[in-house]
A and B are shown apart, each in its own frame.
Chain A
Amino acid sequence: MAKITYREALKQGLREALHADPKVFLMGEDVGRYGGAFAVSKGLFQEFGPDRIMDVPLSESGFTGAGIGAALGGMKPIVEIMTVNFSLLAMDQIVNNAATLLHMSGGQIHVPIVIRISCGVGKQLGAQHSHSWEPLFAHIPGLNVISAGTHEDARGMLLTALKSPDPVILFEYTGLLNVEGEVPETAVEVDITKAKIRKEGKDLSLITYGSGVIKALEAAADLAVLGMDIEVLDLRSLRPLDEKAIFTSVQKTHRAIILEDAWRSVSISSEISARIMENVFYDLDAPVERLCGLEVPIPYPKHLEDACVPQKEQIVSQIRKMLSK
């Protein structure tokens, strides 16, 4: 095992992908000469040159659409949208073209594109730069939406995503970039269709993804000290959902709480809650609960920003209440 930062994990995945297939290329704002807005692609421009690490003008709709076209034409584009805040400008291309062409063409036209999007709350960047919009994307049939909450996934998900004949949206988390974690020595593909149990437990299922994974594990560790055995399930794929993993965990623990930074209404957690109700209701000992982002545009001051998304202390106290401990 090696210890690397989340940023380094992302970079290794990119480098591996570029080496593995000459048709793979990266395009995005400031990915090249600037070294990437978050230094994820730093050095790759020098290593692979401007044709494979393409700086593009500010034109999210334009270059995302061009990525879709390049995919139709036989290339393997990785499109980087600097942050999810700017993805709305590309949403028409993502929804009306990437997600839809296969169906509209009666199965003739595949769109093997990977769109990497970084996101997350917590850097005091204010309401236009702090979105958690995984649910918006997970709403769209035709997309595969995956979320890298760990170092292994940050490195490996891209490699698997590039094998998909259909569009993949890969969420990365800016809040994790400097966090160190363990990964196997060499980059390997990881399954992107399955959820993963990050910690086994028998008292309650704590279901989460992305920025929630580390918080959930920390909360579970605190709760273990207090004698509660929490299972942490990392969804990883937000569309399609790995229902089997969710139901199996709930059938084991009989209690579930879903954790996410995204706004509560019409979210990933509301969907999971509904599916648990529809499928394993009689396995539950208590109602499903949720911890989500507060429904407010994210304000700038630190104390208000922190209050917008679930913090570890809140997770711990909510679960203690659920388990009456």
Chain B
Amino acid sequence: MSQSLQITREKGVFLLLQMMRIRRFEEKAAEMYTKAKIRGFLHLYIGEEAVAVGITDLLGPEDNILATYREHGHALARGISANQIMAEMYGKVEGCSKGRGGSMHLFDAKKKFYGGNAIVASHLPVAVGLALASKKQEKADLTACFFGEGAMAEGEFHEAMNLAALWQLPLLMVCENNRYAMGTAVQYTHSNPDIEAKGKVYGIESATVDGMDVLSVRSAAEKAIEYIRLTGKPFFMVCNTYRFKAHSMFDAELYRDKMEVETWKKLDPIPKMQQYLLENFQFIESELKDLESACDQEVQQAVDFAEAGSWEPVENLQNYVYSPKE
């Protein structure tokens, strides 16, 4: 377990709760997918929760976040309500993207949550631009950008890293290294398996962290964010993690060993954090039960909210193609 013991009991319980909320929410989403309430692609983050939770906890309301299509966790951790996210996945008007986006395109401009991006790596240069805007306007905020190790083979990753370093931008680049890009394992994607080196080579300060441990993630992020705020320069964080589920809702998982999945499941960040709280803060069973029922309640409410939501009338189909005329 992590060396960072500076967290309070309250903070520890909060981090655990955040991870449990995400887990419960996604389990429900998967269930609703099999009931055909949610359609299209649904990419689950189960197993990787510590990454979004550990990092998002340290961001301020003015900081920007960009994520991939595997972004329910980031959206929840950022404070977009479970109601709005579930409604979005149902395609209802009450969703955070008015139902237009679905699971892969969660947006909330007020919360500075810029997606929900489904073209791999295409949000990385956009993140550079958000950081550039902050710098030009002499704002203190930073931009956090999440992506998988698969995305790092794209030219856009390398272009973004070079620009961020060249222009010295306040950007936190977070690689969620879950070892697979769909069915392609990291050794078939990266000629040099040292992922962190891909930050250093651009002169970007970099660190690798155990992404299955929320406290490790959080303490590394703390240092990274402090560095960015102090220097205005980018930072590259590699979080080693694992997705417990298929790439999207279904894949035959021909590309990985069942044993490997089981081994990683033993590193599940949620029981690990429970154990930590138990050992260090006398966190008791009944408290855990309370958290569980809070999560259950939140998620059930989200489903009820989504069910009760409304469908966009077809007459409005062509809204939001251009901005409304003044």
CB atoms of B121 and A58 under 8 A apart: yes
The answer to whether B155 touches A300 (Cβ under 8 A) is: no
Listed residue (A30, A86, A308) with the most chain B CB atoms within 10 angstroms of its CB: A30
CB distance from B68 to the nearest CB of A (A): 11
Cβ of A253 to closest chain B Cβ, rounded Å: 32
Which A295-321 residues sit within 8 Å CB-CB of chain B? 295-297, 299-304, 307-308
Within 8 A of B (CB), among A120-142: 123-129
Binds B, one of A14-22, A33-41, A148-156, A167-175: A33-41
Interface residue from B102, B119, B151, B321 paired with A296 (Cβ < 8 Å): B321
Contact among A35, A295, A303 for B183, CB-based, below 8 A: A35
Contact (Cβ within 8 A) A301 B151: no
B184 close to chain A: CB less than 8 A: yes
A48 to B168, CA, bound (A): 48
Q: Find out whether the CB atom of A58 lies under 8 angstroms from the CB atom of B189.
A: yes
- Whether A304 pairs with B317 at a CB distance below 8 angstroms is yes
Minimum C-beta distance from A127 to chain B (A) = 7
A126 to B104, CA, bound (A): 8
Decide if B39 touches A58 in the complex (CB within 8 Å). Answer: no
Are A126 and B101 closer than 8 Å at their CB atoms?
yes
Contacting residues, chain A, for B104 (C-beta < 8 A): 125-126, 128-129
Q: Is the CB of A307 within 8 A of B317?
A: yes
Which residues in window 269-326 of B have CB below 8 A to A?
A: 311-312, 314, 317-318, 321
Decide yes or no whether A57 CB sits under 8 A from chain B: yes
**A301-B311 in contact (CB<8A):** yes
Majority DSSP secondary structure for residues of A touching B: loop
Q: Which residues of B contact A29 (CB under 8 A)?
A: 181-182, 184
Residues from chain B with a CB closer than 8 A to the CB of A62 are 153, 155
B41 within 8 A of A: yes
* Smallest beta-carbon distance B43→chain A, Å: 12
B126 at interface, CB cutoff 8 A: no
- Are A300 and B314 in contact (CB-based, < 8 A)? no
Which parts of B246-265 form the interface with A (CB within 8 Å)?
Answer: 251-252, 254-255
Q: How many residues of A contact B (CB 8 A)?
A: 35
| CB < 8 Å neighbour of B105 from A60, A85, A300, A307 | A300
Known: A62-B155, A125-B41, A128-B105. A301 touches B99 (CB 8 A): yes
B155 touches A59 (CB 8 A): yes
Task: With CB as the reference atom, state the residue of chain B lying closest to A62.
Answer: B155
Say yes or no: B41 contacts A59, CB within 8 Å.
Answer: no
**For B255, what are the chain A residues with a Cβ–Cβ distance below 8 Å?**
33-34
Task: Evaluate whether A304 and B312 lie within 8 angstroms (CB atoms) in the complex, with A34-B182, A126-B104 already known.
Answer: yes
Asked if A303 contacts B314 (CB within 8 A), the reply is yes
- Size class of the B contact interface (CB-based, 8 Å): 35 or more
Q: Is the CB of A58 within 8 A of B150?
A: yes
Shortest C-beta distance, B95 to chain A (Å), equals: 9
Residues of B within 8 A of A123 (CB): 39-40
Q: Are B317 and A85 in contact (CB under 8 A)?
A: no
A304 touches B314 (CB 8 A): yes
- The docked-state distance in angstroms from the alpha carbon of A302 to that of B40 is 10
A299 vs B314: C-alpha distance when bound (angstroms): 11
The verdict on B170 contacting chain A, using a C-beta distance below 8 Å, is no
> Do A33 and B119 touch across chains, with their CB atoms under 8 A apart?
no
Q: Is B91's CB within 8 Å of the partner chain A?
A: yes
A80 to chain B, nearest CB (A): 13
Establish whether residues A300 and B184, one from each chain, have CB atoms under 8 Å apart when the complex forms.
no
Q: Within the assembled complex, what's the spacing in Å between the Cα atoms of A81 and B100?
A: 26
| A85 and B104 alpha carbons, distance in the complex (Å) | 14
List, in ascending order, chain A residues with CB within 8 A of B312's CB: 299, 301, 304
The CA of A30 and the CA of B251, in the complex, are separated in Å by: 12
Q: CA separation between A126 and B95, bound complex, in Å?
A: 14
Is there an interface contact between A33 and B40, defined as CB atoms closer than 8 Å?
Answer: no
B183 touches A34 (CB 8 A): yes
| B14: Cβ under 8 A from any A Cβ | no
Which of A37, A296, A302 contacts B318, CB < 8 Å? A296
Q: Within the complex, what minimum Cβ distance (angstroms) separates A117 from chain B?
A: 15
Interface string of B184-201 (1 = CB under 8 A from A): 110011100000000000
- CB-based contact B119/A34 at 8 Å: no
Closest to A63 in B: B153
Q: Cα distance A128–B120 when bound, in Å?
A: 11
Residues in B neighbouring A270, C-beta threshold 8 A? none
Q: How far is the CA of A295 from the CA of B320 in the complex (A)?
A: 11
User: Is B5 an interface position by the 8 A CB rule?
Assistant: no
Asked if A35 meets B254 with Cβ closer than 8 Å, knowing A86-B119, A126-B102, A126-B118, the reply is: yes
A126 touches B40 (CB 8 A): yes
Quick one: which of B91, B100, B102, B184 contacts A30, CB cutoff 8 A?
A: B184
A58 touches B154 (CB 8 A): yes
Given known contacts A58-B189, A127-B100, is B153 in contact with A302 (CB within 8 Å)? no
Q: Is B102 within 8 A of A297, CB to CB?
A: no
A-B pairs, top 10 by smallest CB distance, nearest first, are: A34-B183, A301-B91, A300-B102, A57-B153, A124-B40, A124-B39, A57-B189, A128-B118, A33-B255, A299-B100
**Chain B residues within 8 Å of A, Cβ to Cβ:** 39-41, 91-92, 99-102, 104-105, 117-121, 150-151, 153-156, 181-185, 188-190, 251-252, 254-255, 311-312, 314, 317-318, 321
Contacts A89-B154, A126-B102 aside, 11 further interface pairs with beta carbons under 8 A come to: A30-B184, A33-B185, A33-B188, A34-B184, A58-B189, A62-B153, A89-B119, A127-B105, A300-B101, A301-B91, A304-B100
19 contacts between A and B (CB under 8 A): A33-B184, A33-B188, A35-B254, A57-B153, A57-B188, A58-B121, A59-B155, A85-B118, A128-B118, A129-B41, A295-B321, A296-B317, A296-B318, A299-B100, A300-B100, A300-B105, A301-B99, A301-B311, A307-B317
